[in-house]
Amino acid sequence: MTDAPHVCFDRILPKDLMRPHRRERGPDGADRAISPIGKAWMNGTTLTVRFLEGTPAQQTKAREQAAWWQAACNISFDFGNHPNADLRVSFDPTDGAWSYVGTDNKGIPSNEATMNLGFLDGGTAGHEFGHAIGLAHEHSNPEGGIQWNEPVVIAALAGPPNRWDEAKVRHNVFMKYAVDQIKGTQFDPDSIMLYAFPATWTLNGVATHANDDLSSLDKAFVAGAAMYPKGAPVVTDAATLTVDGPKVEGSIGAAGEEDLYAFDVASDGLYEVTTRGSTDVYLSLFGPNSDTDLVGEDDDSGYGVNARVRAGLTPGRYVAQVRHYRPSGTGAYSIRVRRR
């Protein structure tokens, strides 16, 4: 009996199982790599990466394939012995291949891996770094979703090289894919974010093939307005907010636009960043003195469709990132920060 295919399923935190996902349509109805809403880093971010183990050859391959994304969009990686690295990579051959998605990585305890490269077939490392910058898996079904042959998938993933019990399969495969479905659309069959699985895993004979490099649509999506465009504003261009100062008027003027606001906190306390207006925005707050340490994020906890992040802050500089909740959405809003 042959081993099951090497597979990866992006690790979705329990609170996100019902969160909608960002998508972008390409030519002929093909969906480009999808990104869970609220998981993107700030445009222009440099992510620090530390290897927890691995041979020189393994580490070299990981660096080389991470660089594919760096070449395609406005995000970069700094590999080194960073004690508080944003991404921490292990190479445990008994734990398969996986990664947390985007800013979820910052919620993982600093002594734990955020990515595992238990095998390095083809473009596996490139695929996992795609998750790390905020991309989810691509999948499709014109009738509403992949029709999994559950007993077959459970049995296959119980064996090597994945060795998952039924609970892990149900959480990482069936539950996650039921949520992430892109209904009634086609996927990009060449995307590196599409992992191969055989027709025997589905009831309707759907199968996929392995892709070992970024597709043209992968590159177009991550370089587009919804993710990390090279010509867009970065954190050094952030507009200024003043604690307990007047509200600042803003506008999402183009689909996928990201607005950035910076403010300084002088003393410990409870602070609140809020938006107002009829535009449905998504708010993420980073800091102190860090472009990658996520303090909090929110969609509709404010008035109506407005966002609110309330948190205890320590002295330092903070950056608020504002995006429209819908990738194609535009509209005006205001933002302010107050001490409570």
Strands (E) across 132-276 are located at 186-187, 239-240, 248-252, 258-265, 269-276
Q: What is 14-222's CATH topology?
A: Collagenase (Catalytic Domain) (3.40.390)
Is there a common fold for 14-222 and 235-339?
A: no
Q: What is the CATH number of domain 235-339?
A: 2.60.120.380
Q: What are phi and psi of 145, to 5 degrees?
A: 150, 170
Every domain of the chain and the residues it spans: 14-222, 235-339
pLDDT classification of 12: cutoffs 50, 70, 90: low
Do the strands 308-313 and 269-276 form a parallel or antiparallel pair, or are they unpaired? antiparallel
Residue 46 scores a pLDDT above 80: yes
- Does the structure show a pLDDT above 50 at 141? no
Question: Residues 45-67: what's their mean pLDDT?
Answer: 97
The mean pLDDT of 108-136, rounded to a whole number, is 91
Is 57 within 8 Å of 64 (Cβ atoms)?
A: no
Helix%, strand%, coil% for the chain, nearest 5: 20, 30, 50
Quickly state the pLDDT bin for 240 (edges 50, 70, 90). Answer: very high
Q: What is the predicted pLDDT for the residue at 191?
A: 84
Kindly tell me if the per-residue pLDDT of 310 is higher than 50: yes
Please check whether residue 54 is in contact with residue 208, taking contact to mean a CB–CB distance below 8 angstroms. Answer: no
Residue 179 has pLDDT above 90, yes or no: no
* Tens-place pLDDT, residues 246-286: 999 999 988 778 899 999 999 999 999 999 999 999 898 99
Question: Rounded CA gap, 70 and 122, in Å?
Answer: 18
Question: Residue 161: pLDDT band by 50, 70, 90 thresholds?
Answer: low
pTM of the shown model: 0.74
